[in-house]
Structure formats: C-alpha cells, structure tokens
C-alpha cells in the first residue's frame, strides 16, 4: 500500500517482486481491496 493513499497498492515491487512474494502479496492485496470496497461509500 502507498503511504500517502491507502487505496493504491504497489504489488510487484520490493519484497513482492519474487515469485513467492508476488503470490503472497497478490492474495494480501486482494483481501485489502475487497475490504476497502466493502466499506467504501457508494456515490449515486
């Protein structure tokens, strides 16, 4: 996640750049995004 904007996920950089890291980071990012979308207000 980006520090300035937690809605931004930087998957594939740093520790998540390896094959194993990318797998774990991808799962964690999806969990975080799903949580964010579930709690985000919906504009109509």
Q: Are 16 and 28 in contact (CB under 8 A)?
A: no
Where do the H-state alpha helices sit in 1-44? 19-39
Helices and strands (H and E) in the chain: how many: 1, 0
- Read off the pTM: 0.60
16-44 exposure pattern, b = at least 16 Cβ within 10 A, e = fewer: beeeeeeeebeeebeeeeeeeeeeeeeee
Residue closest to 8 by CA, chosen among 36, 27, 43: 36
Give 6-30 pLDDT, tens digit per residue: 778 777 777 667 777 778 888 888 8
Q: What is the pLDDT of residue 33?
A: 85
């Amino acid at each position: 996640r980006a520090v300035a904007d937690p809605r931004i996920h930087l998957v594939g950089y740093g520790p998540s750049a390896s094959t194993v890291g990318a797998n774990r980071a991808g799962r964690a990012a999806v969990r975080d995004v799903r949580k964010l979308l579930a709690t985000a207000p919906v504009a109509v």
